[in-house]
Amino acid sequence: MTRIGTLLGTAALALAFGAATTLAQTPSAAPSAAPAATAKAAPVKGKLKTATTAVGKQCSAEADAKGVHGKERKKMRADCKKRLTAKP
């Protein structure tokens, strides 16, 4: 009898956790005006991301060439990005 109770209790907990995660992942209803505002800002972000991605790749290539890893690599890439994106 205790095995059945344990099994049912475990199944109930699994069901509860599954329902909670499903509800947490369900997006809430947003007003119709919000997607239009984000759609206008998306092209600007795309252009910036392309430029910053190129800088990041170049800095990563420099770090790879020098064989830098860990914290040193992170610091080197940050300095490189600042150097390359600085306005003259």
Domain boundaries in the chain? Answer: 40-88
Mean pLDDT for 35-61 is: 68
Q: 65 or 51: which carries more pLDDT confidence? A: 65
* Number of Cα atoms under 13 Å in the Cβ half of residue 87: 0
Cα–Cα distance measured from residue 70 to residue 68, given in angstroms and rounded to the nearest whole number: 7
Amino acid (one-letter) located at 84: L
Six token digits for residue 75: 């610091």
Does 43 score more than 60 pLDDT?
no
Neighbours of 58 (CB within 10 A): 14
Does 67 score more than 90 pLDDT?
yes
pTM, to two decimals: 0.43
Q: Are 74 and 60 in contact (CB under 8 A)?
A: no
**Start-to-end C-alpha separation, the chain:** 79
Mean pLDDT for 50-76 is: 91
> What pLDDT, in 10s, does the model give residues 14-27?
766 666 666 556 56
Q: Are 59 and 75 in contact (CB under 8 A)?
A: no
